[in-house]
Amino acid sequence: MMLPLFAICALVVFCYMSLWFAVALLRQDNSVADVAWGLGFMLLAWLTFFYSDAGTVRQVVINICISVWAIRLSGYIYQRNALKPGEDFRYRAWRNDWGKNWVWRSYLQVFLLQGFFMLLIALPVIVAAGSGNTGWNTINSAGLAVFTFGFLFEAIADFQLALFKSKESNRGKIMTAGLWRYSRHPNYFGEAVLWWGIFLMVLPLPYWYVALISPVTLTWLLTRVSGVPMLESKYKNNPQFAQYAQKTSAFIPLPPKKNG
């Protein structure tokens, strides 16, 4: 059942991201891909739930977790994008770099590539739907606790940053308080943690090793590809950020260095 379900999910993701690409063309703004990200996981979660023979407690819990996370994240990004003019700096830079090839490279390198990673990170919900009911145990409860911690950590970090940026007096300044005192990217840390929590919820299942691809991929993306590196490069010439970076952990929250 796993392979047919994976194939169905792949087709759905292809169609889903293609529709969002059409929206991006109409708006001339690839930032909509960020809004599509979270909602795509919610779509896959409930698709696999209704496709499976019988929904299990594990599936229901995982799907509720993913839905709450997806709605909060996509809503936050939508509101953030609505408050600032123009395209996100990442997509704006790519638009300039790609020139006349912007359309097809946007489709392949923004939307379809994001869809590919979405499919990999959604593997726990596919495993949960294709493995039957093995009951809920202590490991699952630990996974739920880890998810809750990561979700709250990400949500609080996003809220603190949004509140900081909402004040005109903070324009051009670097957020260094709250959770941001212990990590330069606490929101990314929280997101990685919550997906490790989702993985733990499917760890007792037969194909748990397939689901392991999910948190490993996301953690790699956040720390090595599209998360931390991109934002760090944006502020590489900012003296305040350089000072902040000397004493603050990049990802895992740690006490600030006293002599940074």
Return d(Cα 6, Cα 172) in angstroms, integer: 45
Report pLDDT for 46.
96
Q: Answer for the pair 143, 201: CB distance below 8 angstroms, yes or no.
A: yes
Query: How many angstroms from the chain centroid is the CA of residue 106?
Result: 19
Report pLDDT for 51.
87
Average pLDDT, the chain: 94
Closest CA to 201 of 131, 119, 115: 131
Report pLDDT for 52.
81
Residue ranges of the chain whose pLDDT lies below 50: 260
Report pLDDT for 1.
65
Report pLDDT for 259.
67
Dump pLDDT digits (tens) for 150-173: 999 999 999 999 999 999 999 989
Report pLDDT for 84.
77
Please give the model's pTM, rounded to 2 decimal places.
0.95
Report pLDDT for 54.
64
Report pLDDT for 197.
99
